[in-house]
Structure 1
Amino acid sequence: MKKQALNTLTDKQVEAYLQANPEFFNDHLNLLESMTIPHPSGDAISLISKQLEIFRVKHQELENQLTALIEIARDNDTSFNRMHKLTLALLDAATLDEAVANLEHVFVDFFMTDFVAVRIISEHEQTPIANLFIAPNDPNLQHFASILNSSQPKCGRPTLAQARVLFGDEAAEVKSCAIIPMSFTQLEGIVAIGSREDNRFHYSMGNLFLTQMSEIIATRLISLLHQSEHD
């Protein structure tokens, strides 16, 4: 009767039993040594070898995940450091002109960019910085209408028209850039950072960091604009 019962066991019942009794092979080591499992190559390997292979694969997966997490942490540290430098540079500026100059310095030295542009959408005001202000009715703003309306940064290769408005004579050298809108009640404008490398600012880049950066820049520029109006 016992033999007949064993013959009627299904694969699922055996699997369920082994899962419920994981210590089974501890008491039957001889089975581990004698059991073989088909290998994709066609050769048979022992159960112990198969387990070691599975453990190695899982270990490698865990190592890869850990490496990825470490890289993410390093990237985050770099981003936080850059944002810190940017904030300090803006706070150190006493005038609007100094703020723009400090921005250019930080973007080039710490963000590793080749080109920087700041455009404040407002009627022209007296400033030694060329093209800092662009009138609200300037037809060149049409090239940025979708970006300004969406209030979302755009990364990738700019159109030649966009590059000319932002970077002037250096437009043809800009292979990729991040165009970051600043849309606030007291200020509207654009910050753009460009590169000679095609993939430096890729369209798939996340927007959170760039949006936070625009908020910091715009907040400081608003303060300095109000200060200049009262001087």
Structure 2
Amino acid sequence: MTEPTAHQKAEALTQEQVADYLRSNPDFFVEQDELLRSLTLPHDSGRAISLVERQVHLFREQRDTLRHELVELVSIARHNDRLFEKSKRLLMLIIEARSLNDMAAAIDDSIRGDFGLDASSVILFTNATLPASPEGALQVVAPDVALKRLGNLLDGQRAVCGQFRDSERAFLFPGREEPIASVALVPLRTDKLMGVFAVGSREPGYFDESMGSLFLTYISDTLSRLLPPILQQHTSVASVADIVAESR
């Protein structure tokens, strides 16, 4: 093969072909020490560096990236662990509650104390009469009223997070001197919609559509199972009280 012909053949090689060959033969430079030392690459500093130096630089960048990701994962794991402990304490208080108002008080204390949020709300949708007036975080409203005030926020199964309309925030957290700016709401469901559990913050950007809501779902699932028997018990007590009052 003449020199011009060899040169033309070399020129016919593309960058992709060279890259594919080196990927297929990662040990190519093992027996090519002189070639390896002669290869140079541009560096951010402006000077040329050897291929070995470039590899070391890339390995260090990868190491730093992995270290940063590991630190983030550890931080997230610690945050989730603290969140789980807070959720567990709250659920124990909910399980031990003997009335709807006790349950609502436990939720309100935990959400504002343990979780550091500004407000919580448990709204039950029922036309039944309860023996005691709702207190604290507890509200009882007729289903048609709730549907009118919250609309499509009640359609899904999962938490809805974001900056709700003024009328929706006022309905969820009534009578507040300092208004709630950001809300996370999750429906309470059994075989049907029975209410909502909501938490709020005065900070506008605290809740958004992308944030996780695992702990809210965890708590709402427990409430959805515990509330029906307690609500039935309260309804029965109220019915007995009405019968006694009518018989006098």
Smaller-chain TM-score range? 0.7 to 0.9
Residue 118 of structure 1 deviates from its aligned partner by 1.3
Q: Which runs of at least 4 in structure 1 moved beyond 6 Å after TM superposition?
A: 2-6
One of 21, 40, 45 as aligned partner of 1:36: 40
1:136 paired to 2:143:
yes
Q: Residue in 2 aligned with 1:103?
A: 107
One of 52, 67, 72 as aligned partner of 1:68: 72
Report percent identity of matched pairs.
30
RMSD over aligned CA atoms reads 2.8
CA deviation profile, 1:67-100 (whole Å, cap 9, x unmatched): 2322332232233223212211111112222111
Following the alignment from structure 2 to structure 1, what is the Cα–Cα distance between the partners of residues 16 and 143? 73
Call closer, same or farther: CA 1:217–1:55 in 2, change over 3 Å: same
TM-score of the superposed pair, with normalisation by structure 1? 0.83
Secondary structure in 1 matching 2:175 = helix
Q: Residue in 2 aligned with 1:127?
A: 132
Task: Check the 8 A contact 1:118/1:189 in 2, yes or no.
Answer: yes
More displaced stretch, 72-81 vs 142-151 = 72-81
The one-letter amino acid paired with 1:129 is P
Q: Give the length in aligned residue pairs.
A: 230
Task: Check the 8 A contact 1:117/1:193 in 2, yes or no.
Answer: yes
Call closer, same or farther: CA 1:119–1:19 in 2, change over 3 Å: closer
CA deviation profile, 1:15-61 (whole Å, cap 9, x unmatched): 45544443443433333322212346654221122111211222122
Q: Residue in 1 aligned with 2:170?
A: 164
Call closer, same or farther: CA 1:31–1:146 in 2, change over 3 Å: same
One of 49, 53, 56 as aligned partner of 2:60: 56
Task: Check the 8 A contact 1:175/1:196 in 2, yes or no.
Answer: yes
Secondary structure in 1 matching 2:130 = coil
Secondary structure in 1 matching 2:203 = coil
Q: Residue in 2 aligned with 1:178?
A: 184
1:214 paired to 2:220:
yes
TM-score of the superposed pair, with normalisation by structure 2? 0.78
1:201 paired to 2:207:
yes
Call closer, same or farther: CA 1:69–1:126 in 2, change over 3 Å: same
Following the alignment from structure 1 to structure 2, what is the Cα–Cα distance between the partners of residues 15 and 166? 61
Residue 215 of structure 1 deviates from its aligned partner by 1.3
Call closer, same or farther: CA 1:137–1:26 in 2, change over 3 Å: closer
Residue 101 of structure 1 deviates from its aligned partner by 1.0
Call closer, same or farther: CA 1:213–1:64 in 2, change over 3 Å: same
Q: Residue in 1 aligned with 2:160?
A: 154
Following the alignment from structure 1 to structure 2, what is the Cα–Cα distance between the partners of residues 120 and 12? 65
More displaced stretch, 17-26 vs 215-224 = 17-26
Q: Residue in 2 aligned with 1:228?
A: 234
Q: Residue in 1 aligned with 2:83?
A: 79
Call closer, same or farther: CA 1:17–1:194 in 2, change over 3 Å: closer
Following the alignment from structure 2 to structure 1, what is the Cα–Cα distance between the partners of residues 18 and 190? 67
The one-letter amino acid paired with 1:165 is F
The one-letter amino acid paired with 1:136 is P
The one-letter amino acid paired with 1:202 is D
Secondary structure in 1 matching 2:184 = strand
Following the alignment from structure 2 to structure 1, what is the Cα–Cα distance between the partners of residues 199 and 24? 60
Call closer, same or farther: CA 1:94–1:48 in 2, change over 3 Å: same
Give 5+ residue unaligned stretches, structure 1: none
Q: Residue in 2 aligned with 1:112?
A: 116
Task: Check the 8 A contact 2:131/2:235 in 1, yes or no.
Answer: no
